[in-house]
Structure 1
Amino acid sequence: MKAAALLAGALAALVACWVFANLQGGFLPWFLFGTVAVLALYEGLTAWLPLRRVTVARRLSARRLSSGQPLTVQITVQRGIPWPLAWWRAADQLPAAWDGRATGAQQITLPLWGRTWTFTYRISHLPRGVYTLPGVLLEAGDLLGLLSRTRTCSCHEEIIVYPQVVPVRGWMGHRPEERGLQQATRRRSEESSNVIGVRDYAPGDRLSRVHWPATARRGVLQAKEFELHVTGQLAFLPDLSRRSFHRTDPSVFELEMVIAASLMKYAADARRPFTALFHRTGLTSLGPGADDALLFRCLFELALARPDGGVDFPTTLRRVAQEIPVGATLVVISPDIGREAAVAADLARRRVQMEWFVPLAGPALSHAQREGLAALAAARVDLHLIRTPEQLSDLRAGGVEHVAPV
């Protein structure tokens, strides 16, 4: 019952009992008046005292976690005015994504004269994301169940749940010294650099770049590859397009985030310079670098990431391929292996090296997926089919057939 209505009713009853006692006289009317007076006083004090000068503190076991880890929360309620004749309920305000994961986030107690009330609860298997715990809802009421008052105590806490990171083994992320670039280059400054290898001649190369001995041996025009182009930089491009995921299981996007986070962690541990690109309403680029600060910025972006980008992924791929540094390796993480994506990859592959990690939900591939894989393989894109995070611990260079059967 609302406190104002209850107190108004109690006051009206008190006045009525007083008038009745004065008119009727005798023990019973005055006893009734005394009883109503005591109840009205009790309800008035219960409505006013319990939630005054109350402070709430929240203590977290961690503020930075990985997906799937548990979180322990301790709530401490400090009462300034201990009123023993009231019950208390405390409920932590949790994000909707945590529904069904919290155990004991709401507690009821009768603190009596105690000034401090502490309880602990646990959230299991936290989902990836960035969350805010806004406050704790307190409720106090009388022992008769007639009145209750509520108050929200603000104690904001931000919790970042990064994607799960698993060990990556057997993946090198092709370096330029392993394979020559395939684009035509006209800069004369290259000719003062050391020749580190040869590659297929690309239309637009100057004749001075032709490596005649290698051409004679192979019977196909070969171009010199200069040391100036050598770079170990990786450019990670996770797919955030709404179109790529609108018909897939939500677990596919979560698997993509695990793949992206694990590969970035691998690059940072190996001190390989890398860039991360996120295309939502605009293209966000982080890096290049190879330090922990860049890694955690990227992990934060992955924690925030949602499959809600309005631009289809093939368009993003075409744009990114024109902006990353010459000689870098573009590492794509996307389940979109349709024909449009294959055409975009073919165009991008003429300028940069490319590796494609494909998160999948089930063991079987559709006919369209098989056609897309064939088109990507024809474009000389190294493919890795990933169905579980554990597969990242057993990668081997070479292509899709070495990682997961088609």
Structure 2
Amino acid sequence: MKRSGKYLSLTTRLVFIVSLFFSMYVFAMFQGGTVSWTIFYMVTPFLLYSIALFLYPLSVLKVKRSIRSKTIEKGGKLHVTLHITRSFPFPLLYTTISEKWDDARVIESVPQTKQFFIFGFKKEIEWSYEVDKLPRGQYTIEGLEVEIADFFGWIQKRSFIELKDSILVFPNTTSMHYVPIDAQYDRGSLLSPYSLVKDTTMATGVRDYQAGDRVTWIHWKSFARTQNLMTKEFEDRQSEDLVVLLDGRVSDTFEEQVELTASLIEEASSQQASIAFVSTGEEITVFPFIHSAEQLNEVFVHLAKIKPVSVNDMKLIARSTFSALAGSVIVVTGKPDAAFIQTVNHVTTSMKSVICFVVVDKLQAVSTELQQQVAYAKSKGIAVHLLSRKQFSDAFKEVSSL
């Protein structure tokens, strides 16, 4: 209905222009005189251009979009370049091009997504714009809307060119100093099947070089004597697996919770720790192994897309979620209420220890309610620590000291 309404309106405008053309011609014929014919000849080019613009097909416009990077961190800049080409050099005067995003907030906050051109006889134009400070999330550019008009706005034509691109804005991460949790040397009685981190200050021997060994591990003295590459062997520091659990409920500090979670996982992964990730929400999502860059990227994609849900919409965590996991659990939340703590305590009975990070706004005083919630969690054997954004860098230190 909308398309037919637009077409009818455009056709009505054409009828008006044609009627105006013949009316002025008839007036000049009957009235005669230099003035009448001068007015007719002056207006005729504009009327003919409007008629030609009505017949000009916008389908000849071809658009190519170039995005410097489709994955950026929260608050980063998105650089977009559009190349608009056409095969027929019809003189386009007033041309407006605007990008259509699926999130109206981007269009409202970024005026650069709309641009006015005088195309002229050019066959190609290029337009670049930047979007600053995009919040975390997934965005889709649906396409491009092109609008052209004649001199007086008698003929206005619009065309939507579908050209989809997806943008991911990852959460910011904070650089941390990694400290293993309950780490012990392999002389201990309880060993985990994974090496949490190698202590490169304690070489216990040498072995033949294998593909993938770091250059810094090569034993150069042995190479000088034997001309064979040998790699130092180090004592492994062992620990149970580390599981990070993100509370997906709506809270005032949800974005900070996501950033803390991303920072914990990134730092532990960079230190070759055995780490898993569980997020709650409308669905319970589990990443049981985060050992490779590809697996880490999958986690960050999930953290970029995740949205908080209300308590009523959140799916309950089942005990089976942690049945294949072991070791210590780090819970990241903004609301450690009794119901949530009871659920965590129930489903993590098989885990060695549970540590809860409560993300708070440093500008606000800790409420009496939150103090009561923290006291309740501690009474259930859960170690609790309040963290503001500025304290994220010392998160692992806080864990090891709890």
In structure 2, how many angstroms separate the alpha carbons of the residues matched to 1:291 and 1:385?
31
| Alignment RMSD | 3.1
Change (3 A) 1:23 1:382: same
What's the secondary structure of 1:149's corresponding residue? strand
TM-score with structure 1 setting the length: 0.75
**Structure 1 match to 2:240:** 232
Instruction: Return the offset for 1:79.
Output: 2.6
1:336 aligned onto 2:344 = no
SS of 1:289 mapped into structure 2: coil
* Structure 2: stretches of 5+ with no match in the other structure: 1-5, 192-237
Q: Is the 8 A contact 1:70 1:122 kept in 2?
A: yes
Cα–Cα, structure 1 residues 312 and 321, in superposed 2: closer, same or farther, change >3 Å?
Answer: farther
Closer/same/farther in 2, CA of residues 345 and 157 from structure 1, 3 Å limit: closer
* Pairing 1:72-221 to 2, within 5 Å after superposition: 72-84=79-91, 86-94=93-101, 95-175=103-183, 196=189
Identity rate of aligned residues, in percent?
A: 19
SS of the aligned residue for 2:276 comes to: strand
After TM superposition, give the deviation of residue 144 of structure 1 in Å: 2.3
- Runs (5+) with no aligned partner, structure 1: 179-193, 199-229
What amino acid is the match of 2:354? M
In the alignment, what sits opposite 2:324? 325
2:328 and 2:15 map into 1 onto residues whose CA distance is 75
- How many angstroms apart in 2 are the aligned matches of 1:274 and 1:81? 59
Change beyond 3 A, Cα 1:398–1:43 = closer
In structure 2, the residue corresponding to 1:272 is in which secondary structure?
Answer: coil
Name the residue aligned to 1:391. 391
- DSSP 3-state at the match of 2:288: strand
Q: Summarize the Cα distance change of 1:114–1:50 in structure 2 as closer, same or farther, 3 Å threshold.
A: farther
With normalisation by structure 2, the TM-score equals 0.76
Residue 381 of structure 1 aligns with which residue?
A: 382
8 Å contact 1:314–1:344 — kept in the other structure?
A: no
Do structure 1's residue 272 and structure 2's residue 273 form an aligned pair?
Answer: yes
Aligned to 1:286: 287
Q: Is the 8 A contact 2:284 2:315 kept in 1?
A: no
Q: Indicate how the Cα distance of structure 1 residues 172 and 311 shifts in structure 2: closer, same or farther if over 3 A, else same.
A: farther
Contact 1:280 1:311 (8 Å CA) reproduced: no
Q: Residues 133 and 29 from structure 1, CA distance in 2 versus in 1: closer, same or farther, beyond 3 angstroms? A: same
Q: Matches of 1:322 and 1:9 in 2, distance apart?
A: 70
The CA deviation string for residues 53-89 of structure 1, in whole angstroms up to 9 with x for no partner, is: 1111111121011111111111221132222252211
> C-alpha separation between the residues in 2 aligned to 1:297 and 1:91?
32
Preserved contact between residue 279 and residue 309 of structure 1 (Cα < 8 Å):
no
Counterpart secondary structure, 2:256: helix
Instruction: Indicate the residue corresponding to 1:356 in structure 2.
Output: 356
Deviation of 1:298 (Å): 1.0
Distance between the aligned counterparts of 1:391 and 1:8, measured in 2?
Answer: 70
Instruction: Write the distance in 1 (CA, Å) between the matches of 2:122 and 2:325.
Output: 69
Map Cα deviations across residues 214-245 of structure 1 (whole Å, 9 max, x no partner). Answer: xxxxxxxxxxxxxxxx863222211112xxx2
CA distance in 1 between counterparts of 2:116 and 2:37 reads 37
Q: 1:43-54 maps to which residues of 2 (within 5 A)?
A: 43-49=50-56, 51-54=58-61
Give the 3-state SS of the residue equivalent to 2:335 in structure 1. Answer: coil
Report the CA distance between 1:119 and its aligned residue. Answer: 1.7
The residue type equivalent to 2:368 in the other structure is H
Once the two structures are superposed, the pairs formed by residues 295-334 of structure 1 within 5 Å of their partners are: 295-308=296-309, 310=311, 315-316=316-317, 319-320=318-319, 323-325=322-324, 327-334=326-333
Distance 1:321 1:378 in 2: 24
Assess if the C-alpha contact under 8 Å between 2:177 and 2:393 holds in 1.
yes
Give the aligned partner of residue 75 of structure 2: 68
Distance 1:357 1:269 in 2: 21
| Equivalences, count | 345
Deviation at 1:117, TM superposition (A): 1.4
Q: In the alignment, residue 126 of structure 2 is paired with which amino acid?
A: T
How many Å apart are 1:8 and its aligned residue? 0.4
Q: Which amino acid aligns with 1:339?
A: A
Matched-pair contact (CA < 8 Å) for 1:101–1:124? no
Amino acid at match of 1:196: S
CA deviation digits over 1:110-148, x for unaligned, max 9?
Answer: 122221111211111111111110111111111223222
CA drift of 1:291 comes to 1.1
Separation in 2, partners of 1:338, 1:195: 37
| 2:66 is the counterpart of 1:59 | yes
1:282: Cα distance to partner? Answer: 3.2
Preserved CA contact (<8 Å) 2:322 2:347: no
Q: After TM superposition, give the deviation of residue 37 of structure 1 in Å.
A: 4.6
Distance 1:32 1:330, change over 3 A: same
CA distance in 1, matches of 2:315, 2:167: 34
Structure 1 residue matching 2:176: 3-state secondary structure: coil
Q: Which residue number corresponds to residue 183 of structure 1?
A: none
